[in-house]
Structure 1
């Protein structure tokens, strides 16, 4: 059985070189990105066990944080071409990739969606972060991106970033809180009702939502509760089968996709083995486990047309 990891990361080397030319030693700001598995396809390939594939998305080295809107758009477009080229040259391990968007330039982002994602044989969606330009991802300026992604029937990958206004950010808890708030923002904005085709894949098993589902049920409306269940989530919580069971119970096992955050989490190659073991220890049926490992992604992909 092929295992498909829907949330694995790369850092396209030409893109990194261009960013480094703009901001010398840029990775000093992001030491966790100093990982050869992100940039070296040969090493990345060697780190994978047999019958494992990855949907690749870029790490959060976002051009709009460093350059003007026009240059951000050009850098994202070139990085997307680089990711697509990597996919086409390595279909056996990278069946698809996820595009970057310049969030300081929404018109250019929409053009990228139309020209690089819609109808692409390599890029199947876009990655958004919980905040962009110090605004929540559900700020009104970004709504056209959600609308366009629903219109072309392609998924959004939702990844956390820190809210830099907060002095106590930490990797253990802050990203999960930010994901949860972004999910709440999407539901509160009624995006699932305004854009019925919208598909959002949330990192880290839906963060806090499965564990506070009864608070959602009794504090919010029945319509909002149902909207929370429309998210897809991955399994990237570094193990913990009981927590994954909660995620499957709330979102439905058909909305749980195997994802690891590789190569991050557990050095040196990432947490794939630990998360795979956790899925195998879930209380769901063998058929549901197989769906989590690959079938749910394959069905989602087939639904995109």
Structure 2
């Protein structure tokens, strides 16, 4: 049975070296990134179970948080080229990669999409975060990026970051709240109605939305409720088949993709085995499980 992990992370080593040249202690701000599986491809590849492939995206070491617009664009361009090279060099394991964008330079971001994603065989979409530069990802300044991606049919990988204005952030709960708020912002802004070809893959099984779906149904409009179902989600909640069934029931059989957040979560190599077992333990048919493991990704990319 083929297994395609749509949300696995790397930290391109040349990109990391450039960031460290600018900020030598940069990884001290993000100690979880001091993980050899992110940068050492031999070690990374050796950690994967047989028959598994990964769609690779960079960890959230975002240039716009550290440098100005021109330099951020240059760093993203180089990082994207490095991710594309990883895909070419290991295409049997990495069938595709996800690009970075300089969120402090939207014109350059749109140019990178045209030059590095359109017609690319390696980079198939972009990773965006729930906030950028202290603004929600649904801030008006970022909307042209969503419009452009919808136009070309390339997905958004939506990853959480902390809202630094909040005093009590924690990885267990805060990121799920931030994901939920970003989803709510996209729905409230009417993105799916203005951009009907928009595809958004939400990390961590759609965060709070499946559990609170009836609150959405009865508090918000019928149109909003229908729009929440248009998100795609991954399975990166590190187990819990019943919770995955809840997400599958809300988002639908075609919108759940196998994703792990590897190599994070469960040492030493990440949660892949635990999540794969959880999918196998879901009360679904073998055909429905295969949709999660690979079929829905292949359909999304068709």
Same fold (TM over 0.5): yes
Structure 1 stretches of 5 or more lacking a match?
none
1:100 maps to 2:95? no
Taking the aligned partners of 1:240 and 1:70, their CA distance within structure 2 comes to 44
Matched residue, 2:264: 264
1:191, CA displacement in angstroms?
Answer: 0.3
1:30 maps to 2:30? yes
Matched residue, 2:161: 161
Taking the aligned partners of 2:241 and 2:134, their CA distance within structure 1 comes to 34
Matched residue, 1:195: 195
Matched residue, 2:55: 55
1:25, CA displacement in angstroms?
Answer: 2.0
Matched residue, 1:151: 151
1:281, CA displacement in angstroms?
Answer: 0.7
Equivalences for residues 226-237 of structure 1 within 5 A: 226-237=226-237
Matched residue, 1:207: 207
Q: Deviations over 1:190-221 (max 9, x none)?
A: 00000010000000000000000000000000
Q: Deviations over 1:13-61 (max 9, x none)?
A: 0000000000012100000000000001100000001100000000000
Taking the aligned partners of 1:192 and 1:75, their CA distance within structure 2 comes to 31
1:81, CA displacement in angstroms?
Answer: 0.2
Could you say what secondary structure the match of 2:124 adopts?
strand
* CA-atom RMSD in angstroms: 0.4
Could you say what secondary structure the match of 1:210 adopts?
coil
Matched residue, 2:185: 185
Taking the aligned partners of 1:152 and 1:119, their CA distance within structure 2 comes to 10
1:286, CA displacement in angstroms?
Answer: 1.2
Matched residue, 1:11: 11
1:117, CA displacement in angstroms?
Answer: 0.6
1:127, CA displacement in angstroms?
Answer: 0.2
Q: Deviations over 1:144-194 (max 9, x none)?
A: 000000000100000000000011000000000000000000000000000
Taking the aligned partners of 1:227 and 1:203, their CA distance within structure 2 comes to 17
Structure 2 stretches of 5 or more lacking a match?
none
Q: TM-score, normalised by structure 2?
A: 1.00
The count of residues paired between Structure 1 and Structure 2 equals 302
1:140, CA displacement in angstroms?
Answer: 0.3
Taking the aligned partners of 2:86 and 2:275, their CA distance within structure 1 comes to 25
Q: TM-score, normalised by structure 1?
A: 0.99
Matched residue, 1:67: 67
Could you say what secondary structure the match of 1:254 adopts?
coil
Q: Deviations over 1:100-123 (max 9, x none)?
A: 000000000000011101110000
Moved over 3 A (4+): none
Taking the aligned partners of 1:119 and 1:255, their CA distance within structure 2 comes to 24
Taking the aligned partners of 2:284 and 2:217, their CA distance within structure 1 comes to 23
1:254 maps to 2:239? no
Q: Deviations over 1:228-252 (max 9, x none)?
A: 0000000000100000000000000
Matched residue, 1:290: 290
